[in-house]
Amino acid sequence: MNFEDLPQDWTAVPLTSPRVAGAVVDRVLSEKLRAEDTLLLIPCDERGVAYPPPMLISETDWQADGQERREMLEVLASLGVPSMVVAFSSSRPVPSGVVDAWRADVDAAFAAVGTRLLGVFTAWSHTVRPVTQVPVGT
């Protein structure tokens, strides 16, 4: 599913389905935002329905060291929303090792405050893909 397939009332639809959440990520992250290395966070309620507006952090340093990355994510997680969709975007695919490190830190930061992750995605030119959970100990 891409953003063109979303129902008219997509802002009221729970983002619990990876297909729907991915399509919303595709809709929110324009090609311009992707080219700006934007981190997307879509805070949601306990049913998975998005709170408007999404949070967009451009010029994200995907190569940031682990400490810097964890500190930023802990601040974002401190919002304390019930659930969240997260996406890492760039003009080209972010290297898999970098995505895995970000995914592991996103998992840890949001789990620490009890926020359920509805989906984590990576997005680049005309593409949105889910990021699977990183196995513990990697």
* 31 part of a folded domain: no
| Number of domains, the chain | 1
* 22 part of a folded domain: no
* 103 part of a folded domain: yes
* CATH code at position 82: 3.40.140.10
Lowest mean pLDDT among 5-14, 85-94, 117-126: 5-14
* 21 part of a folded domain: no
Tens of pLDDT, residue by residue over 51-104, are 988 999 999 999 999 999 999 999 999 999 999 999 999 999 999 999 999 999
Report the predicted TM-score, pTM, of the whole model to 2 decimal places. Answer: 0.91
pLDDT of residue 30: 95
For the range 93-100, what are the long-range contacts, defined as Cβ-Cβ under 8 Å and sequence gap of 24 or more?
93/122, 93/124, 93/127, 94/62, 94/122, 94/124, 98/62, 98/63, 99/131, 100/134, 100/138
Tens of pLDDT, residue by residue over 14-44, are 999 999 999 999 999 999 999 999 999 999 9
* 20 part of a folded domain: no
